[in-house]
Amino acid sequence: MKKKIGVYVCHCGGNISDYVDVEKVREEIEKDEGVFLAKTTMFACADSNQKDMVTDIAEKQLDGAVVASCSPKLHLLTFSAVAERAGLNKYNYIHANIREQASWAHSDDKVGATEKAIQIVKAAVAKVKRSNALEPIRVEATNAVAVVGAGVAGLRSAIELAESGSQVYLIEREFFVGGRVAQWDDLFVSNETGKELITRLYDKAMNHKNITLFTGAEIVENSGSVGNISLKVKVSPRHMKLNCDEGNLEKAIEVCPVEVPDKFNFNITTRKAIYHNFPGEYPQLPVIDMEHCTRCGECEKVCKNVDFSQQEEFLNIKVGSVLLATGYDPYEPKNDEFGYKTIDNVVTLPQFKRLVHYCDDKLVYKGKEVKNIAYIYCVGSRQVDGENKYCSRYCCTATIHAAITAKKKYKEIYNFHFNRGIRTYGKQEVLYDESSRMGDIYLQSFEDHPPVVSKVGDKTMVTIKDILTADKTLEVEADLVVLVTGMVPRQDNSIGSLLKVPKGRDNFFNEIHMKLRPVETVIDGVTIAGASQGPKNIMESMNSSLAAATKSFSLIAAGELALSPTIAKIDADNCEWCGKCDDACPFSALTKTDVNGKQVAVVNEAVCKGCGMCMPVCPSNAIELIGYTDDQIESMIDALVSTH
């Protein structure tokens, strides 16, 4: 057992010391057997204190160290690194959390918080006394990345990774790339169209030898761990041979008797079962939608390239990291939410944008010319009663931009914005200013008094208690009501579930730390980019996709990874293979092996995460978790329940 332990109790600049008497904690800990020195510090994480700790550990030859501060999520790595710099094996450093677990949790009880902090630190000291030096497990890392989703974020990450020298598998579930941005015309700031932007990115990606694109593809199986991840990719057939004759192809589409709503246009138009997304899509090859195809064979008769014999394929790929850029879904309003689907001239913002795309000189919806447009903001966002408490960030600017575009395109368009406080943050403010100057009318309601859309005779009326005119009730007759629908997480979260990526309160993928590690997840090797992490505009998605590419690349760039040695260890003498550990393991890290004629469990070191799920189910107690041994944990429990 160790005899020269150093303990540092952090004030956290008041975060701890406002509620926990850190000096008393120090005094109590100093009395513990084996504690050689105990100090308090204003900010344990500050550079100056880190230097002091390094000096202490090195000069006084400490054999163990404890910092009692914030959550290990924040600073375990910081202090492990301090130990290493001082020449102390980092597993002889133990972190005690007295901020989240004592001061913040018990800010109403200073005495109790202090008592609890003392016990938490004592438990850490008990553990460090019994800790051992450990060395990381080294594994080779594959310099390849699977980028999931080929919207703007995925395309951009793929290009960046390829240019850095990684092999990239770009896996798109749809048959066409470009995601949501392909569906938009003029984009704010650059005035480039969505299609132009996608074209640029697609061309760049396709010209790069390191990028392999799969469309109609999804990951169905996943095994291994960071550095060596094996993925099984299911690729659905397009039922089209490459290099089609353009003329015959158009004819094939023409003769198809099936008509279904066109998802690309958010169902305001229809398409055939054999279809393009839009002229000039990528890849430039139509696809047969087998869900709706009746196999009538008409297309086959006019176009030789139709090929119903194509089969689903499964590919196995090996990558070092996975970058998720799976995007978002537009919020789908509930039936009758602001008249959606019950009043005939109510559409969503994405539908409106496609409508403007298709209407050339007059804006016409369902045969009627549109003059007055009422935009209802925050539909599906900032919900008072619903689950979506968050702001969707992009919609204010997107709506104002769409309204200006419509006004410039058609004569006599009158825009009425029924908003809840316009959020054109940053430079986007100038757009709001421009629209106001163009004569757009803004009306604002509070959260608890949303506007009402109703049918009065054959007219659609929007009524609001408008706080901008001192709470007057105002009414607008609308030829078209546009529901400004926010961003929601993808309904189909199969990839998130498969990779076990955690979600935040808003149900988007969650980062480890918004400021310190904004594109990394708790699943080692899995990074997140773009709107999959939360609502973002294009520029913000680009920033996050480039940042995620950097992180994914730096994980595997060295060609070798050092993995944590705190994993399960089997005592082969005690193990009588029963398979219970294998059943309990969420990572499939345990397999059966033969040792001298005896069937025992063996741990795949690169796969085991050290979660400990296997330990309690072992009937012969043959599994120990390195770094969290029974002896260590029991000593911690003893310290926690002891009175001092």
Partner 1 sequence: MSEKKILEYDVLVVGGGISGGEAALNLANLDYKVLVVEKDLSLGGKMIALSKVFPTLDCAACITTPKVSEISRHPNITIMFSAEAKKIDKLGEHNFEAHVHQKPRYVNIDDCTACQLCEKACPVSVIDEYQQGLIGRKAAFIPFSIASPRAAAIDITNCTLCGACERACPTGCIDFTQTDLDYVVKAKAVVVATGFKLFDPLKIPRYGYGKYKNVITSMQMERQLAPTRPFNTILRPGDGKMPDNIAYVLCTGSRDKSVGNPICSQVCCMYSIKQGQLLMGSLPMADVTIYYLHIRAFGKGFNEFYEQSKEMGVEFIKGKIGNIKEKENGNLILRYEDIEEGKVKEAEHDMVVLSVGVMSNSEISDSFQGESLVLDDYGFIHQNDILASPSETNIDGVFVAGTATGPMDIPDSILSAGAASAETTSYLRRAVL
Specify the DSSP class assigned to residue 99: I
Specify the DSSP class assigned to residue 76: H
Q: Choose one: 42-50, 213-221, 493-501, 616-624; the region binding partner 1 (CB under 8 A).
A: 42-50
Choose between 32 and 511: whose C-beta lies nearer to partner 1.
Answer: 511
Q: Please give the distance of CA 92 from its chain centroid, rounded to a whole number.
A: 34
Owner of token pair 């109703």: 454
Choose between 7 and 396: whose C-beta lies nearer to partner 1.
Answer: 396
The footprint of partner 1 on residues 54-83 (CB under 8 A) is: 70, 74-75, 78
Residue choice 4, 39, 42, 235 for contact with partner 1 (CB under 8 A): 42
CB of 85 vs partner 1, minimal distance in Å? 8
Residue choice 111, 133, 220, 430 for contact with partner 1 (CB under 8 A): 430
The footprint of partner 1 on residues 539-568 (CB under 8 A) is: 539-540, 542-544, 546-551, 553-554, 557
Q: Choose one: 113-121, 227-235, 259-267, 527-535; the region binding partner 1 (CB under 8 A).
A: 527-535
CB of 152 vs partner 1, minimal distance in Å? 8
Closest CA relative to residue 269, chosen from 197, 332, 333, 350: 350
CB of 153 vs partner 1, minimal distance in Å? 11
Choose between 379 and 478: whose C-beta lies nearer to partner 1.
Answer: 379
How far is 519 from 509, CA to CA, in rounded Å?
10
In SS3 terms, 587-623 reads as CCCEEEEEECCEEEEEECCCCCCCCCCCCCCCCCCCE
What phi and psi, each to the nearest 5 degrees, are found at residue 354?
-70, -35
Pattern 83-122, partner 1, x by CB under 8 A? --x-------------------------------------
Choose between 30 and 203: whose C-beta lies nearer to partner 1.
Answer: 203
Residue choice 1, 3, 14, 138 for contact with partner 1 (CB under 8 A): 14
192 binds partner 1 (CB under 8 A): yes
Counting DSSP H helices and E strands in the chain, the numbers are 15, 34
The footprint of partner 1 on residues 368-427 (CB under 8 A) is: 381-382, 389-391, 393, 421-427
Sign of the dihedral through C-alpha 434, 435, 437, 443: negative
Sign of the dihedral through C-alpha 433, 434, 437, 438: negative
The answer to whether the peptide bond before residue 451 is cis (omega within 30 degrees of 0) is no
50 binds partner 1 (CB under 8 A): yes
255 binds partner 1 (CB under 8 A): no
What phi and psi, each to the nearest 5 degrees, are found at residue 140?
-75, 145
The footprint of partner 1 on residues 440-469 (CB under 8 A) is: 467-469
Contact (CB, 8 A) for 253 and 529? no
Choose between 101 and 604: whose C-beta lies nearer to partner 1.
Answer: 101
Closest CA relative to residue 103, chosen from 77, 74, 78, 68: 68
534 binds partner 1 (CB under 8 A): yes
Residue choice 209, 505, 619, 641 for contact with partner 1 (CB under 8 A): 505
436 binds partner 1 (CB under 8 A): no
Choose between 66 and 478: whose C-beta lies nearer to partner 1.
Answer: 66
The overall longest dimension of the chain from CA atoms, in Å, is 90
Specify the DSSP class assigned to residue 134: -
Residue choice 23, 259, 387, 433 for contact with partner 1 (CB under 8 A): 433
CB of 180 vs partner 1, minimal distance in Å? 13
Choose between 103 and 345: whose C-beta lies nearer to partner 1.
Answer: 103
538 binds partner 1 (CB under 8 A): yes
Closest CA relative to residue 379, chosen from 332, 440, 424: 332
Distances in Å between the Cα of 547 and the Cα atoms of 35, 153, 500, 560, 590 are: 43, 11, 21, 21, 35
Which two structure tokens, joined as six digits, stand for 211? 């990028």
CB of 296 vs partner 1, minimal distance in Å? 43
